[in-house]
Structure formats: C-alpha cells, structure tokens
Copies of this chain bind each other. A is one copy, B any other.
Amino acid sequence: MLGEQELMSVPGLSEETVRHIVQEEIERAAARDQAVRSAAFIASKGTLDWAYPPLILATTAAASGMDTSVFFTFYGLNIIHKDFERKLKVSPIGNPAMPMPVPMPNFVTGLPGMGPMATHMMKSMFAGKHVATIAELLESARDLDVRLVACQMTMDVFGYSQDDFVDGVEFGGAATYLAAARNAHVTLFV
C-alpha cells in the first residue's frame, strides 16, 4: 500500500500509459532473467568419450556469458581426478555405435588390448580434427569461471579424498547441484 502523499502528487496516467509502463518493466525483468543465462550440467560417466560433452557444452555456455557449473558424480569424478589422463579410457564393448576402423564382433572387442586401442584411436580422431583435449577443456573451464563441483557422497563411496582432484574444484552434494539448476534453463545429465 502507498502513502497518502504519493496518491495526491500528480494528475495521473491513463490506462494505456500504465499498460505501456508495465510492458516495459516486464521486458526489463525478462532481460534480467537469471534462468536464461544459466546452465547446470551433471557429468556422471567416466570414459573418454563421455568426458567431452559436459566440458564442451560448459565451456561454450560460459564463453557466451552464461553462469555455468558442472557437477561431477559417480564415474564422472574420473574427469577431474588428478590422474584423469590415465583414468579416462574408452571401451568398444557393448557399444555397437562406436566407429571402429574394421567392424569387429563383440568377442573380439573383449580381448585384452582392444580397450587401449580404442582409447588411442579416439584420442587420435579428436586430435586430428583439432578438438581440444580434456586437459585443455578443463583449463578453459577454469579460465571461464565454470564452477567445477565434485560430489562428496560418491567421493566417499569410491574412496576419494579432496587431494585426489585437480585445482579449483569445489565439493558439494545433490542439494548444491539443485540450488544452481533450479535457477537455470539449461540442465543436462551427461
């Protein structure tokens, strides 16, 4: 409710003028809308191929000015582990969609040596097309102020300590993720 004084002060505005003011203010509020400018990703997979999508999406979002965070949970903790270069592998097994130089039956892809070959092949394919490496994407993410949050619960379950992770990582839980995601339009579970 407004004071007596304000009600008296001026001759007044027409309905048309009031509607115009209102529409202007709504447009301004929409332009300030945090959700349009925020993205909250979850990275839950720990293989080389699935490390790319959350990091590429997050750095692209942040580069366009969006408030961006990535929550690393379950196998996704591999991505920010200090030893990620060795931990992020790719398996051709159980993924008939993975392009192999030569089609191979599953009992062959399961043989020793096929996993390392697939991992090496994927790294070469990405490097050959000048796609940033995981190390470079992590570096970009930090430069662009992407919040990197490690899931404390799955860290405990898998026996990781805070020292196991790269610099700049925060620690939190599902509630930390949801606090960011509820104010973001872009929310993706990778």
Enumerate chain B residues within 8 angstroms of A157, measured Cβ to Cβ.
125-126, 128-129, 131
Partner of A39, one of B36, B56, B111, B182: B182
Asked, given contacts A19-B21, A66-B178, whether A94 binds B94 with beta carbons under 8 Å apart, the answer is: yes
B94, A90: Cβ atoms closer than 8 Å: no
Nearest neighbor of A6 in chain B, beta-carbon distance? B17
Q: Are A64 and B178 in contact (CB under 8 A)?
A: yes
Q: Is the CB of A57 within 8 A of B190?
A: no
**Nearest Cβ distance between residue A184 and chain B, in whole angstroms?**
6
Does A166 count as interface, using CB distance less than 8 angstroms?
no
The 9 lowest CB-CB distance pairs between A and B, nearest first, are A12-B12, A46-B97, A94-B94, A75-B97, A93-B94, A60-B174, A188-B189, A89-B96, A105-B112
Collect the chain B residues with CB atoms within 8 Å of residue A177's CB: 57
Q: Count contacts on A: residues with CB < 8 A to the other chain.
A: 91
Q: Does A163 contact B (CB under 8 A)?
A: no
Residue A22 lies at the interface, judged by CB distance under 8 Å to chain B: yes
Identify which of residues 10-31 in chain A touch chain B, using a CB-to-CB cut-off of 8 Å: 10-15, 17-23, 25-26, 29-30
A82 in contact (CB, < 8 A): no
A–B pairs, 24, beta carbons within 8 Å: A6-B13, A7-B10, A8-B11, A12-B12, A13-B15, A21-B22, A36-B182, A39-B182, A49-B74, A64-B178, A66-B182, A88-B97, A91-B94, A93-B106, A94-B94, A99-B159, A105-B115, A106-B112, A107-B111, A125-B157, A125-B158, A129-B156, A183-B185, A187-B187
